[in-house]
């Protein structure tokens, strides 16, 4: 008999479980070595509690009623539940607080696209440690963890969620226009961005900057010739960069257009790329205002890795068959899978 399970969910059988376990065990050891204590929280939360956070596109997608008619929701990430835990259970603890987790999160999907409803995330949250030190620590833990599992060719893209809004403000873009410009950037549609700039009647130099700056990405040289309105965000990025050890710093690429589809980010944001996979393996950033929404105003930063994506990237690197690779088989072997 074949009994179906919902699309976007999977059964994980012993061979795969063994490989995934090797990855998560290695990550757990790496997180632990940096002082991050593992926590569990319920998969089901009160919807009204999760709704305190601005999740934008990553909002909880599944809701049920409990026996008294209260609406519960399946968590869509671990950052919001941990913000709740900190405000509730660590209300008077001395920061910084360090947590890590390995947990399933639940997202809405579009049919026929291979998207997961249930995804396994591994991540950390560093609470009460402001930029730039906290951000540098999170990036360091991120890179050391990926090194530990044996991922070879990854890069971490770093941007700043406040950069484009600051650029628009200082170029005196009218308030009603701003949302539309940001939206085009979130869509990753530079043609539309150009069109909307034109439609808004923005003049040459301002329009050029707003179209050009978010397309700038590359090495640290990017930080030296940033235009005036972007200087503050870029200075923030440079401060983080200067705190990084050389082996972490060489993994970082700067991306002045990086925007994540979760609304609570306030400063540095990052994303992990590997040439063996066509999509980011994970990401994170600073969320200095989220904790305040739960009643304890603390700056915070964190990242989450999609364990299945990481597994795929490791397997791709090992086989030398990564989609974006040239197809060569050198660089095979090693890592948590062998």
Partner 1 sequence: MSPIHGLKIAVPRGALFEGTVDLLAALGLDTDELRANDRKLLFEDIGVITMRPSDVPTYVEAGAADLGVTGKDVLLEQLGHAPNEHGRDVYELLDLGFGRCTMVMASKAGPDPAVESLRRLGVMRVATKYPRIAARHLEETGRQGEIVEVKGSVELAPLTGMVDAIVDLTATGTTLRENNLVVREEIVVCTARLIANPVAHKLKAAQIDALLGQLRGLPAASA
- Interacting residues with partner 1 (CB under 8 A): 57, 108-110, 113, 115, 155, 157, 187-192, 194, 215, 217-218, 253, 255, 271, 273-275, 277-280, 323-324, 326
Q: Give me Rg for the CA atoms of the chain.
A: 21
Smallest gap from residue 38 Cβ to partner 1 (A): 29
Helix (H, G, I), strand (E, B) or coil at 215: helix
Shortest distance, CB of residue 189 to partner 1, whole angstroms? 4
Closer to partner 1 by Cβ: residue 31 or 254: 254
Which CB, 55 or 127, lies closer to partner 1? 55
CB-nearer residue toward partner 1: 45 or 274: 274
- Give the nearer residue to partner 1 in terms of CB position, either 103 or 252: 252
Nearer to partner 1, 125 or 271 (CB): 271
As to burial, measured by CB atoms within 10 angstroms (0-12 exposed, 13-18 middle, 19+ buried), residue 217 is middle
**Closer Cβ to partner 1, 255 or 288, answer by number:** 255
Tell the smallest beta-carbon distance from residue 331 to partner 1 (Å). Answer: 14
Q: Which of 253/291 has CB closer to partner 1?
A: 253
Residue whose CB is less far from partner 1, 109 or 177: 109
Return the ∠ at Cα 240 (arms to 173 and 93), rounded to 5°. Answer: 100
CA angle centred on 139, ends 135 and 144, rounded to 5°: 150
Q: Are 254 and 220 a contacting pair, CB within 8 Å?
A: yes
The partner residues of 101 in beta bridges, in order of sequence, read 123
Q: Least Å distance between CB 10 and partner 1?
A: 19
Task: Write down the least CB distance from residue 121 to partner 1, Å.
Answer: 17
Work out how close the CB of 157 gets to partner 1 at its nearest, in angstroms, rounded to a whole number: 5
Exposure string of 305-316, with b = 16+ CB inside 10 Å and e = fewer, is bbbbbbbbbbbb
Q: How far is the CB of 324 from partner 1 (least distance, A)?
A: 5
- Three-state SS for 11? coil
Contact indicator for 5, 123 with CB cutoff of 8 Å: no
* Location of structure tokens 């707003």: 210
Q: Closest approach of Cβ 316 to partner 1, in Å?
A: 10
DSSP state of 221: G
**CB contact burial 241-258 (16+ within 10 A = b; e otherwise):** bebbeeebbebbbbbbbb
- Per-residue DSSP letter, 72: E
Contacts 24+ apart (CB under 8 A), 197-200: 200/173, 200/174
Which CB atom, from 54 or from 232, has the smaller least distance to partner 1? 54
Structural contact between residues 77 and 303, judged by C-beta atoms closer than 8 angstroms: no
In degrees and rounded to multiples of 5, residue 124 shows phi and psi of -130, 155
Give the number of other CB atoms < 10 A from CB of residue 78: 26
């Amino acid at each position: 008999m074949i009994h179906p399970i919902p699309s976007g969910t999977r059964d994980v059988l012993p061979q795969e479980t063994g490989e995934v376990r090797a990855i998560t065990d290695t990550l757990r050891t790496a997180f632990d070595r940096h002082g991050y204590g593992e926590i569990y929280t319920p998969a089901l939360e009160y919807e009204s509690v999760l709704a305190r956070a601005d999740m934008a596109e990553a909002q909880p997608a599944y809701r049920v009623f409990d026996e008294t008619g209260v609406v519960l929701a399946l968590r869509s990430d671990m950052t919001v539940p941990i913000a709740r835990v900190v405000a509730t259970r660590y209300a008077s603890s001395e920061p910084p607080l360090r947590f890590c987790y390995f947990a399933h999160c639940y997202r809405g999907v579009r049919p026929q696209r291979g998207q997961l409803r249930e995804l396994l995330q591994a991540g950390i949250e560093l609470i009460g440690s402001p930029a730039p030190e906290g951000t540098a620590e999170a990036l360091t833990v991120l890179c050391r963890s990926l090194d530990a599992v044996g991922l070879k060719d990854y890069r971490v893209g770093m941007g700043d969620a406040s950069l484009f809004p600051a650029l628009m403000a200082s170029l005196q873009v009218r308030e009603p226009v701003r949302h539309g410009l940001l939206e085009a950037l979130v869509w990753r549609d530079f043609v539309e961005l150009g069109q909307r700039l034109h439609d808004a009647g923005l003049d040459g130099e301002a329009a050029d900057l707003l179209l050009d700056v978010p397309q700038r990405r590359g090495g640290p040289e990017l930080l030296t010739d940033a235009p005036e309105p972007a200087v503050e965000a870029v200075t923030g990025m440079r401060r983080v960069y200067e705190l990084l050890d050389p082996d972490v710093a060489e993994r970082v690429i700067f991306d002045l257009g990086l925007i994540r589809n979760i609304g609570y980010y306030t400063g540095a944001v990052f994303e992990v790329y590997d040439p063996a996979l066509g999509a980011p393996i994970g990401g994170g950033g600073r969320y200095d205002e989220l904790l305040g929404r739960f009643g304890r105003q603390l700056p915070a930063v964190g990242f989450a890795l999609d364990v299945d994506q990481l597994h795929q990237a490791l397997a791709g690197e090992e086989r030398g068959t990564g989609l974006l690779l040239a197809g060569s088989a050198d660089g095979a072997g090693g890592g948590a899978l062998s």
